[in-house]
Amino acid sequence: MSNEIRFGTFVRVATLRQDIISFNDLVGVDAVRLGDKIRLRPIDAYRLLTPYASSRLFEQARAVIPLALYLLLFQVFILRQGIADAGLLTAGLLAVIIGLMLFMEGLKVGLMPFGETLGNTLPVHSPLPVVLLIVFLLGIGTTFAEPAIGALKAAGQFVDVTTSPYLYTLLNQWSGALVMAVGIGVGLAAILGTLRFLLGWSLKPLIYITLLPLLTLTFYLSQDADLAPILGLAWDTGAVTTGPVTVPLVLALGVGIAGAAGRGDSSLSGFGIVTLASLFPVLAVLGLALFIVNEQSPQAIILAAQALSESPSGNWTTRSPGTEIIGGVRAIVPLVLFLLFVLMVVIKHKPGRPAITAYGITLCVAGMILFNLGLTYGLSVLGAQAGSLVPAAFSPLDGVLGSPLYSLAAGLFIAIGFAWVLGFGATLAEPALNALGLTVDKLTNGAFRKSTLMYAVSFGVGCGIAVGVSRIIFDWPLAWLLIPGYTLAIAFTWLSTEEFVNIAWDSAGVTTGPVTVPLVLAMGLGFSEAVGAMDGFGILAMASIGPILSVMGTGLWINWKIHRKHVRSEQRMLTSDRTPHTGLAA
């Protein structure tokens, strides 16, 4: 052995330079006693921070850049139009990416721990009515903090007061009340969803009970020419509300409550709140619209709007950077104060590390402000620009040379195909869908594969957006699409098993994130303006019903396949009774 060198020893000597220190010495040195701060060289800090920042930046960039590129390339190559304000647009998109990055990180560091503490301790500390009240208020608070809500207000600028006065007033004078109504809807949905966890209710009857008044009201409003344009907005709010703030915070609380009652282990716990939170706001907004109709006449609204536009607003809070800053602070601070109040006063829990919480909240506010700025200058402009130019493919537009660019049939095909690809691609790229897919795969023991779900949902959203755009082009009343669509959904719900009902109805709300929503909203508005339609809302509403139908349809098909397999294997067992019983389980 003495003449041989072990390969391992050779490698050790030949590679990295090694300094050997005894751990005893290291721990003994005074400078690094436990609890002392470690001093970092600048290079260390740089190496520590780069992966942290870049991974988070990349996550948001991956959602924004492909979508933006798709819209821009489509505009340049298919529609052969230059891009207006390219510099400002790029800056705006950059603001969206950085804003979302800061916001999500702040949410994770600053607000999520609150939500988890609340979910774990509140149900133990307080009686059920108090818990439900807090759930309700939390639902309202998170709605205000939802990034996509800003897109609704931004959309208000594009609405023409003379064609649809009630829509205009809802989005401008009543915009606070509108968000409040949405929040109340989400709050009620959160209460009902929590009760559902607690008492183990089935989702099906809740869907029937919610849809009945909803469809009746929709039918009633669609009969009135002044009120019909509101339907699109109302149904769109459902898709807007269920975003990255509401879903995790409300879910954390709901699951915590169910867990405290010993019901947290159901495989379906967690589902359902999203569904209810995308239906109840519609009801609330329709209610608000009815209230406004009794308060104000269309003529009064038009007069008020004209008076407002004539008086130049000198106040800094109503001009561009001011509104975004105010909006950002107003979105986050009430939610934070509410959470702090509940934590400190109701359950008397001292937040562990105030500095870190403060850091997270600061990030949230800064991110929200940046995101709002990016929304105004980036996403909304981009969506509106693309939306207003796409109709040039099939109809003559002022300002677009040589339009229609293609023959009517080809142009329509291009415009609707554009919408379909946009919906399909944006949904497939949504990170929340990936997470849902994993859950569903586990829940159904692989019968419903992750990729099957992702394609089913994306297909549904793509078709929904295509139908929504077609509606604007051909000026179909939205109620004609919503009522049959949801009636079909009710029929599917009746036939499907509880699991698929939960998955399908939730998938609609989960997939519309803070990038897709503003983009699609702005696109619809630009589109409707270009073709001279009554209102540009309703695309998101169609994008919600699309995946519900496609996912439940896929679920029914999978169940039918499993059923057929069972029938066949039973037949085989009858014909040859020596076959072992294992065939049935497959």
What 3-state DSSP class applies to 2? coil
Q: Which of 2, 4, 5, 11 binds other proteins (CB under 8 A)?
A: 11
* Nearer CB in complex with other proteins: 12/564: 12
Q: Does residue 23 belong to the site contacting other proteins (CB under 8 A)?
A: no
Closest distance of CB 28 from other proteins, Å: 17
Q: Are 226 and 298 in contact (CB under 8 A)?
A: yes
Shortest distance, position 361 Cβ to other proteins, whole Å: 13
Q: For other proteins, which is the closer residue by CB, 106 or 165?
A: 106
Compute the C-alpha angle 399/404/407, nearest 5°: 175
Q: Closest separation between CB of residue 358 and other proteins, Å?
A: 11
- Judged by CB under 8 A, the residue of 8, 314, 354, 402 near other proteins is 8
Q: Which of 26, 27, 29, 52 binds other proteins (CB under 8 A)?
A: 52
Site for other proteins contains 17 (CB under 8 A)? no
Q: How many residues bind other proteins (CB under 8 A)?
A: 26
Q: Are 539 and 468 in contact (CB under 8 A)?
A: yes
Q: Is 22 in the site for other proteins (CB under 8 A)?
A: no
Query: By C-beta, is 15 or 575 nearer to other proteins?
Result: 15
Q: Binders of other proteins among 93-152, rule CB under 8 A?
A: 109
Q: Is 300 in the site for other proteins (CB under 8 A)?
A: no
Answer yes or no whether residue 47 interacts with other proteins by CB under 8 A: yes
**By CB under 8 A, residue 62 contacts other proteins:** no
Q: Is the dihedral of CA 180, 183, 184, 185 positive or negative?
A: positive
Residues 355-414 that bind other proteins (CB under 8 A): 355-356, 359
Is the Cβ of residue 15 or residue 582 nearer to other proteins in the bound state?
Answer: 15
Torsion of CA 390, 393, 394, 400, to 10 degrees: 90
Amino acid at the residue 287:
G
With CA atoms as reference, report the closest residue to 275 among 550, 492, 548, 457: 548
Tell me which residue of 174, 169, 113, 177 sits closest to 143, measured CA to CA: 177
Peptide bond into 404 cis (omega under 30): yes
Phi, psi of 271, deg, nearest 5: -85, 160
> Is 7 a binder of other proteins (CB under 8 A)?
yes
Cα dihedral across residues 520, 526, 527, 532: positive or negative? positive
Could you tell me which stretch among 120-128, 163-171, 192-200, 353-361 binds other proteins (CB under 8 A)?
353-361
Nearest CA-CA partner of 584 in 576, 448, 571, 575: 571
Per-residue x/- marks for other proteins, 27-46, CB under 8 A?
A: -------xxxxx-x---xx-
DSSP 57: H
Judged by CB under 8 A, does residue 21 bind other proteins? Answer: no
**Closest distance between other proteins and the C-beta of residue 437, in Å?**
19
Residues 6+ apart with CB under 8 A from 299: 165
Q: Which residues bind other proteins (CB under 8 A)?
A: 6-8, 11-12, 15-16, 34-38, 40, 44-45, 47-49, 51-53, 55, 109, 355-356, 359
